[in-house]
Chains A and B, each alone.
Chain A
């Protein structure tokens, strides 16, 4: 679990070009979007791309991803459940 956390946070930082952010800055239960990291709708799409590239998860509808993107924790759970 810990290894997925480190890996996934690293991938988020890389995919979104979050220069000055470290994995520790991504708090498990804070919202990913809006406040917190200050991510927006284009970031969400870049996360969709990362999930497809690195975990084989195909998201074709943002509605489906909305819950998964609520916080880091929900995203990690989503990846655990759906990775191929």
Chain B
């Protein structure tokens, strides 16, 4: 019996229907909608719309927590979930290292950012503070810090399925034995951007959504947060925690058809549901109830009904959308549905589809009309996002037997050593067996100030880096000229046909060009699209498109919103364009977690390949320069405006103590080593998490060294075999020193000096810079880049004599994150 199976031990929720699980359940039981007037902010155009606004005083409930409204909602839900799970914050070692936070976020701190932009546009005195909480990672880092969690921690931003993806990802980390406990869920506040954005798509129903009804006319936006404490069954049992339910299956797919609209045939939704059933060893007849995505848009509900028929045939289980209770809460939505599903299993009752009166002939199905007691063993929950990012979760009653075992042998994924003879995942020692499934990197594509080819990057490194260009820090800041590592004209005109390019923002074009350089011949022949996954990291998403939409909205009093810009403003706009370009229908993930966004994306792909869920993967990252990053970074002292260039480890020589901003995209192709022809290198290891901080905020070097050694050891890489530590050093003494200390600690640990290198001199500092570092690492182990070129300006390093066979890419983020990837020749 597998003991790594993920179980739920805590629930927390805050929505328009109230704060806390009991308030939520009370609303579902009594059929009370949380929709009401918008009072959070004024909206000239949509002010009279019904919305799912949280009515409690969020600031008061959150206590003395600083952050955006989304951050506070997240912490309120997290606190409730942790309390129920009996996990007192802050956690102590060793539990802290085995506890992670995985959240979905889409709106994040946009509500505060809108206020900052509004003041700028009106010429009022500048306020930058809300921008500190702008990023998707803000809520995740807040929860992790308050909990004291140091295990794998990341944020996913696949629009409306992000919360569900975060839960599925947490489950994968638990199964893989990388985590024992995870706080997983999603949070999003209302904002003018989303209200105007969905308005621009003509997808809002002013009077409140009517999911699956013949008269449905669009969504109602909502806000809220929901959190699960997910835990390995063995850990939960060992500490005597009460098990509320099990997560029995999950599936993820991509429509690969349109940036915002669902595939009308529901192909992606069908695939995700089938995958979730298969993963749980379930047949359609096992599902007792479906919590539908059911947004209330004409298209979604028809598509979803079609998909339900495709999965369940004529015998679809009763189903309901809960969107009229809470509104569509975007990244929180999947997590809110998960809490509702778990509660339904506990109460053995299921909600009604509030707002439904008349059946639509095109839908041809009737959702549950009444809240009703039902015998429930398994409840399935659907989440479908922009970009066709579909995620399906299945929860099982706590004491229901593991379905796969109950059914006996089922077909196991082809050649997968992680599956036991009875078809269940991880029945034996996963830790032992997950080692040594080497992956191959079979392609690499780059858009970077330092060049677009490995030869170009080599020249840039040989010259000691590239010279940043002078860039205008444009409106609404108008700070004049600043230096930055711009990719300039990166070849989009040649690479992307005009008809396609005109619809894409700059960041999407960068990612697409990098992807095409990675796979100049397209995907290898013979792949099934359903078994190709993609994951793209982006710390800040499509800033240019987002800024254009928000500035237009605020300048014009919400008149004439720009629909195309809104479609491009979501973080997953890059990954979904890749899916459309290459027809990638497997898991499609977007991670948005500051400097480790790339590593989280790479992990997602690696884990899909290792678990036999995909045969091929594209992983990468992209971030763009913007007046906002230039201005905010300048204000906060991230950039040294007077520095002529980035000189890693060079602050004493140059006198400049800060880096300069940059941008870039890199995309890599991955496959299992035994299935790859002509690999560039092996990807042996990828891990991420949070470091143990000293009082001054820097990592404790010995603990970092121990974590690195342990992680590598686990993946079959002896520390002694590492030839070079390629660091994110950028000339900021505090972090350069931290890298130096970790390298020294590793040298002591293995009894041999470890060379320390850097790469940001050739691409600039940005959230996707480590993807460029990965490109450099491939050049190093491939023999195209001499290691000495990366050691420039590092006075303590002894130049490596031989071409490195094993390179460790190591990233520290000021926000507390750390990540490593290891590539071998």
A interface list, Cβ under 8 A from B: 16-20, 38, 41-43, 45-46, 48-50, 52-53, 60-62
Contact = CB atoms under 8 A, between A and B. Distances in A.
A41 B502 contact: no
A50 B563 contact: no
Contacts of B797: none
A52 B502 contact: no
A60 B206 CA distance: 11
A48 B502 contact: no
Interface stretch (B26-34, B342-350, B553-561, B672-680): B553-561
B564 interface: yes
A46 to B, nearest CB: 5
Contacts of B498: 19-20
Contact of B563 (A19, A38, A48): A48
Given A53-B556, A61-B202, A62-B202, A46 B502 contact: no
A60 B217 CA distance: 11
Interface residues of B, number: 20
| B259, B260, B501, B564 pick with most chain A CB within 10 angstroms | B564
B560 A42 contact: no
Contacts of A41: 258, 261
A49 B499 contact: no
B562 interface: yes
B24 interface: no
Interface string B475-508: 0000000000000000000000011011100000
B567 interface: yes
A49 B567 contact: no
A18 B564 contact: no
B201 interface: yes
A48 to B, nearest CB: 7
30 contacts: A16-B502, A17-B503, A18-B502, A19-B498, A19-B501, A38-B499, A41-B258, A41-B261, A42-B259, A42-B260, A42-B503, A42-B563, A42-B567, A43-B503, A43-B564, A45-B202, A45-B564, A46-B562, A46-B563, A46-B564, A48-B563, A49-B561, A49-B562, A49-B563, A52-B560, A53-B559, A53-B560, A60-B202, A61-B202, A62-B202
A61 B205 CA distance: 11
Contacts of A50: 560
Given A38-B499, A42-B503, A49 B261 contact: no
A42 B502 contact: no
Given A17-B502, A61-B202, 7 more contacts: A16-B502, A38-B499, A42-B564, A46-B563, A49-B560, A52-B559, A60-B202
A57 B810 CA distance: 55
Contacts of A17: 502-503
Nearest to A60: B202
B755 interface: no
B200 interface: yes
